[in-house]
Structure formats: C-alpha cells, structure tokens
Structure 1
Amino acid sequence: MRGWNQSGAIQTIYEEEHRSSSTPSLSPSPSFSSSPPSLHSIVNAWSLHSAAEPNVLILVQGTSFRLHQDCMISQSSYLKQHLVGVSNVTISPPLNITAETFSMVADFCYTHEVHLTPSNVAAIRVAAELLGMTEGENLCEVTESYFERVVAVDASMVMRSCVTMLPEAETTASLVSRCIEALIWNGDVSFLDDVVEMHSQDFQIVASYLNKRLPDHDALYKIIDIYLKENKYGKLTEEQQTEICNNLDCSKLSPHILVECVQNPRMSLKFIMGAILVEHLKTRDSLVAAATTATHQTERTSLRKILQHAHRHTTLIEETMDSTYHRIQNLEKELMEMKNHLQHHQFMDEKRNNNALNQERSVSFHFEPPKNSRIQRGGRGSISSSSFMLDNIITKKHNEVEMSVTNKTSIDMTRFFPRNFMFSLKNAFGCRMQRQSRRS
C-alpha cells in the first residue's frame, strides 16, 4: 500500500498537523506512515466542501489518519464512544484491524461506498462489526450481503481470508463455519488444508459453531478426525481432545459413522464411552421399532432375522467394549509406570540428600593435622610410642596380678594364724609332757 509520503503531499499534511496541534502527543512520529492517497483526496474534498479541517487523529498499526470527527462518529458507535472529549484515538489489539482495512472503512464513512472482493470481504466485515457499524444500511449490512453472494461462488478463497482473521472472524459473524458449511454442501474438501493450519483454540471455536449450524454431524466428525490426525501443532493433550470431541453430538451421527467413531483411537475416552451408550440406545430402539413394525406389517420379519440383527449389534458392542477396555488397561499401565518412575526418583533424591548430610557431618568432625607437621620418634602417635605404651600396659597388668596373689596370701595367713598358733603350742606342750613321763 502506497503511503502519503510517496504521493508528494506528506510534507504539507505534516506541516498543517504540526501547526494545528498544541500537544506533543498529536505530532506525527517519524515511524508512522500516512493514510493512502485515495482517502487523502476524499478528506481534502470534504474539507473544501464543508470548510472544516480534519479535527481527529486516528492511529492504526503505525499509520496516522487525520479525519473529520462528524463523519466517523456518525457511522461508528465505537469511535463515537472513544472520541468524547479527545481528538485522538489508537486502534490496536484486541481489535484485529489493519491500516489498509481501516482506510476502506474510513472511505465508506465519507462516501458510503466500499470496494469489496472475495479476499477482503472478511477483513472489512470483521472491522465493521468491531467498530460498531451495524445500524441501518451500514457497513455490516453491505459486507454481509456481499459475503452471502460470494460464498456461494468462491467459498474457498473467502475461507482462506477468514482463517487469517481468527478468532474474530468466527466470534463476530461465524464466517469460517459458514464457509465450511457451503463447501460441505458443494462437496469441496479443499478447505481441510486450511483447517489443519488452525490453532487448537481457533479450531475449538469453529467446531463449536459448526455444532450449532450443521443438521447432522457426519461431516463434522470427519473434520475433527482429520484435524486430530494432521494438525501442524502435533499431538494434542487429552484435555484438548476431549474439548474438541465434545462438539460432536452422537445422536446426530449416522449408525456407520457412530461405529467408526467408537473404534477411532484418536477420539477421547470420555467421548467414546458416551458414544457406546448412544449406540446401545439406538440398537435397543431399532429392535423395538423392528418388533413393532413386524407386528403390523403384512410381510412380517421373522424372529430369526431380528435375532440375527440383535446378535450382530451385540457382537459389535462387545468388540467395542473390548477395544475400550484394552485402551483403559494400557493407560493404567502407563500411569503405573509413571508412578514407579516418580517413586524411584524420589527415593534417589532422598538417598542423595542423606549422603550429602552424612558427608557434611563427617567433614565437620574430621581432624586434619597441621601441614608440614611430623611425628617425632617416641612422640605421641608414633609407632615406637605405641609399642612403649603397650609394654607399660603389659608390665602393669603383670604387677597387678602378682600383687593380687600376695595380698590373697597375706589375707589367708592373717585369718588362720591364731588357730595354727594354738595348735602348734598344744603340740609342743604335749610332746614335752610325754618325754618327762618317760624319763620318770
């Protein structure tokens, strides 16, 4: 897009803006380009016609627009609200509006005309909705009418332009879901290439709107399945899968799609369990309907066929339950492995902490002799000193043993001395008396 600085008029516009501005905030920044020449010429023509200079400054993604306040607020409720008592406003995210799109919007505010194409209708439609241009025959009505016509002819191109405007393109006017709906009715599946490029949050929004718009969900199931399989963001989390799968209404799925959905490993477990219940209810209802119809019809269906039909459905449900049971077992096994892995890591962490604590304790009580210190011969801690001390201990023990023996002997002698002494005196006197009697 060519700016005003390429048209030769930018210096004059900047001089006028600088003279009319009394605050530094309204002076143009060198990083800003200016609005396109087509809008510039329209603004100049309006100034000559109304004898009034532009009195508001609107900044959009680095581009400055000097415009007339009356023209803008008469068409936009957003600008009418934000230009109360001020002369400048900045349009920035979350408003997803580019400078090129705002230039077309401003052009419509002055001329009530806008040049629409399949590639820009989505951007202008979203901008009109965000700026509150909805009253009467305003820009919303003009772009909506064009969108409805062009989407029936070239929905694929409109779809590509809508994807770049997500999520606003869907939350404001359901543009993406309406394009998909048109392509589904036309049998065109080329839009799937654009679907897999969507972010998971944007796809969730689109799927929720498709849930409300589509009368049956067979096509929605195919879209969700392809997105879960081929989206460029890789494998989604279980929570994201559940959130996306919840947009499917099992009661709106045809029987063979419901069976395929139940057996699809990409579907969330919660959704599969709900689908199994719906399949069981449908089977029961079909059996009841078949039995009722057989009663009233002339050519009645035999009981054998009813039983065969019931047996096939029962077998199918059993196979589905087995598949789901194996998936649940695998999940339980993975959870158990994760739990053991976490416990092992916790054990190793505790072991390392204990080893670190023991090491700190051993370091704190460790005695390290001074450097350059040597143990002298015979000194404390030397081998000779150890042997000397050992000899002293042995000698001391030997003396203690001898002393104990001597003490014991002295104790025995002290105890038995009186008795032995008297016995010796008796023997001595006895012997002397016997000798005297012999002599006489």
Structure 2
Amino acid sequence: MSNGWNHQFGVIDTIYEEEPEFSSTSSSPSLSPPSFSSSPPLLHSTISAWSLSSGHQTDLLLRVQGTCFRLHKDRIISRSSYLKRHLTNLTEFTLSPPLNITPHTFAAIAEFCYSSRVHLTPNNVAAIRTAAGLLGMTDSRGYDGENLCHVAESYFNRIVGIDQEYASVVLRSCMALLPEAETTASLVSRCIEALVWDDYDGHDIDATCLNVVVEIRPQDFQSVVDSINARLPHHDVLYRMIDLYFKENKNGKLTEEQKSQLCNSIDCTKLSPRVLMECVQNPRVPLRFIVRAMLVEHLNTRRSIAVAAAASGGNQQDERESLGDILRRDSARRQTAQLKEAMDSTCSRIQSLEKELNGMRKILERKLNALNSERSASFHVMPAAAEERKIGRGGRGSVSSSALMYDGESGTPRMTKSLRQRLMSGLKNAFHRKSL
C-alpha cells in the first residue's frame, strides 16, 4: 500500500500487504518452542519476538474456523474481555458461531494484541470493528495505547466521512457480517446514512446507491431498518429503501407480516408531502400502511386548510367533504404555492439585476464626469487682455474656441457668464476705437 493511501485514510502500521495462506491443520498446545505454520508470516514473527523478549513460550491454542493459532494467553486476555472470561482455566479454545470472525480477521486482531498495530482498509475495517465488538476489545486499562474498537471506529468514521464511494465499499463488506455488523456497531445503517445524507433535501432521494440492501436477509433487514428509524430525522430514505426491498423481493420471499413489520418502522409524520402521496398510491406496501399514510395526509391537508383559512379570514371548510376533494384541492394549492415560489424567485433575481445595473450606471457616470472635467480643462479661458487683443485683430476663431465650456451633466458645450461679459467689453472697445 502506498504512502499516499496511508496518509489519506490513516492506515495504522501495515502488518502485511498480501492475503496470507492459512493452514487448517490442528495440533495440541505445547510449552516448547512452537511451530507457527498455521499463522501468517508477520504474526509468526511478532509472536516469536515476544517469546524471546519475555522468556515465555506460547501456552494457548486457539482455533478459528479450523485454523490454529498458538498464542500467549496473557497477551490475548489483556485485550479481550470475552476471551478473558472463557480462557481463565483453558489452554485450548475454539471461536465458534455465533461469533462471525474469520481466520484472516482474527490474525489482525492477534497482531494488535501483541503490538498495538492493525492494518485497516475500507475492505476490512467493518470486519475488524465487528470482531472487536464481539470480543469485547473496548477497554484500554492494563496496557498502553487505545483499544481496538476505538481505533477501528475512528478509521471507519474517517472513511465514511471522506467519500460516498468508500461508504459503498464498507457497506458491501458488511453484507457477510450481518447481523453482527449492525447489532455491534450499526455499521450498515451508518453507511446508508452517509450515502444518502449529502443528496437528501427533504423531498427526493436517489435510492440507486442502496441496491445492495436487497441482498440482506429479511430478519437482518429488519434490524437495519429499526436502526435507521432511530438515526434519521426524516424517513423519506427509509421508505424508499423498504420499497426497493419490496420491489426486488416480489416473488413471495417476504410474508405479509414481515412487510407490515418493516412498514411499521416508517413514521408517516416524518415523510415529505411528495413521498406521502407516493405511499398512498403504492400497490407494493401493505393496506394497513396505505390507510395510515392516508390518515396522515388527511390530517396534514386539514391542518393546511385550517391555517390558510385562519390567515385569510375565510370560513371553516365543510367537515363532510370527501377525502378525494380535499386531496385534489390540496394538490392545486401546492401547485399554486410552487408557482408563487418560482415567481418570487424570478422577481428577486430581477431586483438583483436591477441593483447591478444601477451600480454599473453610477460607475459610468463617474467616469463620464471625470472625462468631461478633463475636456473642460483643455478648453481654458485666455486672459482678458490677450482676449481683447485678439478681438481687436478680428480673431473670431479664438473667441469661439475660448468661449466654449462643457456641461458636466449633459456633456454639451456652453458659454459662461464671465466670458460673455468680457466679449461685450471687447466689442465696446472695438466700436469706440472705430468711432475715434
């Protein structure tokens, strides 16, 4: 595994990179230097190193699904409350069902008991977290470092929180670990929550990411549904997941009683109006659930009508109206509300654009005023004496050019009052000289 993977997903000290080959041969425990042909190579090395450093040989033979592990009892029972209860007076023990632990998973657990290291990936974190819960590896007292449940839980949270793709990987790895994966740590329901939460807007759920749930046995699916019921504040995703399960198991795999129990986990008051209407029209769900959904929809409609009537000062609605009339009127009211919402959004956008245009207009006006000021400065007025000499020489062009001023508001040229006075004075002087 690359360093980039370790850095991104917090892998805690790699133990082995490849799948080890396990031997199914059994043997009796021995206090002499043991043969570790049944253990993975790196676990073999770890146990051998511990024997040399402590001066004690292995004194426990533990079998997991036909695979033998020769271990030091004190190291194992110091980390596992379950094994401590069962190994007090034993030198041999078999981990048997209902403990859902494979030899590969137990090898990682044994390595942690010796070295406080564990190799975690999205593919094995569910198995190790489930096994740690079953073996009671939740106590840090008596040794340095964290307990395995906490280490696996921390890694699980980081993986699920990073990307929905990894949540999907973990979810699929949980399928072979049910029901323990759910009963010990709610792993399945938490993966489902992570998959749908980012896309959940209270109105629509894409259930395609939940196709894996159709592989779950009905009794295990019930425990997952009950857990999701307690975790999610909205039940749209719960309804869609159950409906998907009904759709994929329509060939008599589910009894009506099982369907009713699953639907009883759905709180209709926590469904969005759109999903509630789907429930009323869904032929796959039990009739009792349809009736319950209709009652909730009826109550919601009555409540909406009462609120609308109170707001508008209208009269109370006729209590004898049919449910169909109420639902149709409520549907029309919702469409009107949606149109009003769209219109409000459009008006808001237009107002925003108008503000932007006004701002741009002010900027352009400031730039135009600055440009006009520069132009006005270029048409400066000549001193009065020079002006009079030009007029005396008949310099009409100079008068017209110097008399022009630009209006800062309209941008059009204008003649100032002082310039007109000087012009009249110059004409008088000119006529006076001519008369002389």
Assess same fold via TM > 0.5. Answer: yes
Match of 1:165 among 174, 177, 194: 177
**Residues 171 and 86 of structure 1: is their aligned pair in 2 closer, same or farther, counting only changes over 3 Å?**
same
1:186 aligns with 2:201: no
Within 1, Cα distance between the matches of 2:127 and 2:226? 22
Within 1, Cα distance between the matches of 2:250 and 2:55? 56
The Cα shift of 1:239 comes to 0.6
The Cα shift of 1:235 comes to 4.6
- What SS class does the counterpart of residue 2 from structure 1 fall into? coil
Within 2, Cα distance between the matches of 1:206 and 1:315? 38
**Residues 82 and 19 of structure 1: is their aligned pair in 2 closer, same or farther, counting only changes over 3 Å?**
closer
In the alignment, which residue of structure 2 is the partner of 1:287? 305
Show the 5 A alignment for 1:57-96.
Answer: 57-96=61-100
Deviations 1:104-150 (A, max 9, x none): 00000000010100000000000000000011320000000000000
Give, as a single letter, the amino acid of the residue that structure 1 aligns with 2:226. S
Within 2, Cα distance between the matches of 1:255 and 1:189? 18
- What SS class does the counterpart of residue 177 from structure 2 fall into? coil
Q: Which moved more, 1:244-253 or 1:265-274?
A: 265-274
Give, as a single letter, the amino acid of the residue that structure 1 aligns with 2:184. T
In the alignment, which residue of structure 1 is the partner of 2:168? 156
Within 2, Cα distance between the matches of 1:99 and 1:89? 14
Higher fraction of helix: 1
**Residues 232 and 104 of structure 1: is their aligned pair in 2 closer, same or farther, counting only changes over 3 Å?**
farther
Within 1, Cα distance between the matches of 2:66 and 2:123? 23
In the alignment, which residue of structure 2 is the partner of 1:205? 223
Match of 2:50 among 3, 23, 46: 46
Contact 1:56 1:66 in 2 (8 A): yes
Measured on the aligned residues, the alpha-carbon RMSD in Å equals 3.0
Aligned identity (percent) is 56
Within 1, Cα distance between the matches of 2:112 and 2:305? 62
Q: Which structure 1 residue ranges, 5 or more long, are not aligned?
A: 22-26, 296-301, 319-440
Give, as a single letter, the amino acid of the residue that structure 2 aligns with 1:77. S
**Residues 5 and 240 of structure 1: is their aligned pair in 2 closer, same or farther, counting only changes over 3 Å?**
closer
Within 2, Cα distance between the matches of 1:224 and 1:33? 47
Contact 1:126 1:173 in 2 (8 A): yes
Higher relative contact order (CA 8 A, sep 6+): 2
User: Could you say which structure has the larger radius of gyration?
Assistant: 1
Q: Which structure 2 residue ranges, 5 or more long, are not aligned?
A: 1-18, 141-145, 200-205, 329-436
The Cα shift of 1:191 comes to 3.2
Contact 1:198 1:231 in 2 (8 A): no
Show the 5 A alignment for 1:346-357.
Answer: none
In the alignment, which residue of structure 1 is the partner of 2:259? 241
Contact 2:29 2:61 in 1 (8 A): no
1:103 aligns with 2:113: no
1:118 aligns with 2:122: yes
**Residues 233 and 75 of structure 1: is their aligned pair in 2 closer, same or farther, counting only changes over 3 Å?**
farther
**Residues 33 and 191 of structure 1: is their aligned pair in 2 closer, same or farther, counting only changes over 3 Å?**
farther
Q: TM-score w.r.t. structure 1 length?
A: 0.62
Deviations 1:194-220 (A, max 9, x none): 111111111111111111111111111
Q: TM-score w.r.t. structure 2 length?
A: 0.62
In the alignment, which residue of structure 1 is the partner of 2:356? none
Contact 1:183 1:189 in 2 (8 A): no
Deviations 1:313-350 (A, max 9, x none): 643669xxxxxxxxxxxxxxxxxxxxxxxxxxxxxxxx
Count of residues paired in the alignment: 296
**Residues 4 and 178 of structure 1: is their aligned pair in 2 closer, same or farther, counting only changes over 3 Å?**
closer
Contact 2:32 2:57 in 1 (8 A): no
Show the 5 A alignment for 1:322-333.
Answer: none
- What SS class does the counterpart of residue 215 from structure 2 fall into? coil
Deviations 1:218-262 (A, max 9, x none): 111111111101138655211111011111001101122112101
Contact 1:3 1:33 in 2 (8 A): no
The Cα shift of 1:265 comes to 1.1
Contact 1:107 1:113 in 2 (8 A): yes
Within 2, Cα distance between the matches of 1:251 and 1:233? 30
Within 1, Cα distance between the matches of 2:259 and 2:138? 37
The Cα shift of 1:157 comes to 0.6
Contact 2:167 2:191 in 1 (8 A): yes
**Residues 232 and 3 of structure 1: is their aligned pair in 2 closer, same or farther, counting only changes over 3 Å?**
farther
